[in-house]
Amino acid sequence: MRHLTTESNSCSLHWNNPAVTSMRSSSRRIVRIFLVVSVAWTAVGSAVGASWVERINGTGNTNDVALAVATRDDAVFIAGSIFEDVGMGGSKSHGLISRLNRVTGQQVWTLSWLDPDDPGDFVFCRQIVLDTVGDLIVGCDFGYDDFGVLKVSAAGTVLWWQTLPSDGSLPSFGGITIDDLGRIYLAGRTVDSAGGAVQVLVGIYEPDGSVVHSFVYSGPTGSAGSNAAGIVATSSDIWIAGYTELPDLSLEASVVRFTSTGSVVWERFFGGEGFATDDVFRDLAVRPESGQVVAAGSMNSGTANGTDALVVAIDLDGSVAWQAFGDTEPGIDDSLRALVLLPSGDVVAVGSLETGLNESDPLVMRWSPTGVERWRRQAAGAGTDTEAAVSVAVGPGEDVCVGGYASLANDSYGFLHATYDAVGTQRDYQTYAGPLGGGSRAWSVAVDPTGRCIAAGGSFGVGTGEDATVIQFDPPILFEDGFESGDLTAW
C-alpha cells in the first residue's frame, strides 16, 4: 500500500499496489510485475471556465503526459506515460493508466505499466477504448521492440496483455478498436528486416485475450510498404487508414478494407503531385449501418499549391462517395488530424491551417453526410506561432469539443479548449498555460455524461518538469456580449 499526499493540502490518496497478472499468447508463461512509480496530485478548486485541473507527476523532474482520455458514468480514464527517476541522471517511462473521479478530479486509482520482457524499456500508452462491460482497452508502445494492448478492469486490475510479435524493427502503435462482438483489433507498423519495407501489422483478440488471428499488409505487389495510422472494424470487416509507398515510389494516402481474416477486399489511394510525403490519412471512422468509411488527413497539391486538408467517404464496395478539401489557396498548407461522425451523419474534422511563416491556426471543419461543407472555423490563440487542433469529440445537441494547443501572448503554448455549436458558433474558448506559464498541450478530448469537455495532455509544473494534466471544463456561460473566454494560467 502506497500513501500519497497532496501538494497543497492535507488530503491524502491511498493507492493499492498489488501484483498484476499478465497474459501473453499461449506460448508465453504467466508473468507477474509490480507497479513502482510514485504519483502526486494537486488540489482541485474553482476558476473561470473549469471545474477542476488534475496534475500527475512521476519521480523527479520528468516528462509525464496524458495522451488519451475517455469517460463513462462517474469516471474519467486517462492513458499516457509517467517517468521514474532511476538515479545517475537516468529515467525510464512507465505506461500511465489512471481513473479519476468525474466530479472532483481526484485519482481513484493509478497504474504504471512496465513491459515484463524488458522492464527498463520506455512505455507510452496512446489510446483508450471502453468496451460494453466497462473494461478499458489500452493501446501502448513498448519501447523500441514491440507494441501491444492491455485490458484493464474499471477497478484498476490488469486482466491481460498482448503484444504483436514481429521480426522487423522500429515497431510502433497505430490504433485499437472493438467490433460489435467485443473483439479487439490492434494495428501498427514495423520495418521488414529483410527488405526494409514498412509493413502494417494487425492482431485480433477475443475479449478474454486469446488470439483470433494476425496478419501483415505491405501494400500492392511491388510496393515499398504501408503504414497504419488508425483502424476501425465490424465483425465482418476491417478498415485501416494511413499511407502506402506505391511501386512508382510515390507516397499516397491509403484506405484498405480487409475481411475479418485479413484478406484484402479493396485498396484506395489518394495522391497529390509528385512523390510528396504529405499524402496521408491520420484518422478514420465507419458508419456501421452502411459500411461507409470516412478518413481525414492531407494531400500535397504541388510546390505552388502546398498541402491541402483532405476528407474522403468511401462506400462499402470501395466506390468513393465524396471527397472534400480544406483551403485550396496557392501556397497555403493545411491538414486534418482527427475526425468524429455526428448522430445526424455530419462529419467534423480538426487540424491546422497555415497563416504565415512558421505560423498556423487550429482548424475546425464540418460537412454534411454527402460532403457539402457546412462551415469552417479557425481557433486562433493570442500569440503568433504554430497552433493545431488534434482531437475532437461530440457533445449534447451536436456541439463539438475541440482540443489541441494554442499560442499564448508570450509565444509559448497552452492547452486549447474550444466548443462549437451545430451552425459553427464558437461557444467557448479557453487556454491553460500551466504553473510555469507555457509549454502546455492537450492531446485528447472527451465529453462526459453531463456535457462537459475533458482535455488531457501535459503541462509544466514548478520543479516537476512536464506533468500529465487533465482538465474538466464547465459548460459555456452565455453573457450579454457572447460566450465566455479566458485563460487558466493561475491553476
> Which of 26-30, 188-192, 352-356, 482-486 has the least mean pLDDT?
26-30
The whole-angstrom distance between residue 411's C-alpha and the CA centroid of its chain comes to: 25
In this model, does residue 24 exceed pLDDT 60? no
Rounded Cα distance, 430 and 491, in Å: 13
Q: Which residues pair with 188 in a beta bridge?
A: 173, 201
CATH number of the domain within which 309 lies: 2.130.10.10
Cell 453526410 belongs to residue: 369
Q: What is the mean pLDDT of residues 466-485?
A: 67
The verdict on 223 and 320 lying in the same domain is yes
The verdict on 443 and 295 lying in the same domain is no
Confidence of residue 161 (pLDDT cuts 50, 70, 90): very high
Helix (H, G, I), strand (E, B) or coil at 103: coil
Confidence of residue 477 (pLDDT cuts 50, 70, 90): very low
> Which of 8-22, 397-411, 447-461 has the least mean pLDDT?
8-22
Rounded Cα distance, 365 and 377, in Å: 6
The pairing of strands 478-479 and 482-483 is antiparallel
Model pLDDT, residue 463 = 79
User: What is the 8-class DSSP label of residue 288?
Assistant: T
The verdict on 453 and 349 lying in the same domain is yes
Cell of 138: 489500452
Model pLDDT, residue 302 = 61
Q: Where does a domain end: 325, 347, 374?
A: 325
DSSP per-residue string spanning 121-175: S-EEEEEEEE-TTS-EEEEEEETTTEEEEEEE-TTS-EEEEEE---SSEEEEEEE
In this predicted model, what pLDDT tens digit does every residue of 260-297 receive, in sequence order? 999 999 999 998 765 556 689 999 999 999 999 999 99
Rounded Cα distance, 212 and 235, in Å: 12
Cβ-proximal residues to 28 (8 Å cutoff; 6+ apart), any chain: none
The verdict on 269 and 296 lying in the same domain is yes
Establish if 486 belongs to a structural domain.
yes
Establish if 222 belongs to a structural domain.
yes
In this model, does residue 180 exceed pLDDT 60? yes
DSSP per-residue string spanning 4-73: EE-SSSS-EEEE----EEE---TTS--EEE------EEPPP--BTTEEEEEEEE-SSSEE-EEEEEEEET
Range of the domain at 247: 164-325
The verdict on 384 and 463 lying in the same domain is yes
| HSE, side-chain direction, 13 A CA sphere, residue 391 | 25
The verdict on 202 and 248 lying in the same domain is yes
In this predicted model, what pLDDT tens digit does every residue of 205-260 receive, in sequence order? 999 999 999 999 988 876 767 888 899 999 999 999 998 888 776 788 999 999 99
The mean of the pLDDT values for the chain is 82
Rounded Cα distance, 186 and 65, in Å: 22
Q: How many domains does the chain have?
A: 2
Establish if 1 belongs to a structural domain.
no
Establish if 283 belongs to a structural domain.
yes
Q: Where does a domain end: 287, 309, 325?
A: 325
Cell of 201: 501489422
Q: Where does a domain end: 282, 299, 325?
A: 325
Q: Cβ(165)–Cβ(146) under 8 Å? A: yes
Establish if 183 belongs to a structural domain.
yes
Establish if 30 belongs to a structural domain.
yes
Residue predicted with more confidence, 170 or 425: 425
The verdict on 354 and 394 lying in the same domain is yes
Give the highest mean pLDDT range of 10-24, 118-132, 137-151, 440-454: 440-454
The verdict on 451 and 381 lying in the same domain is yes
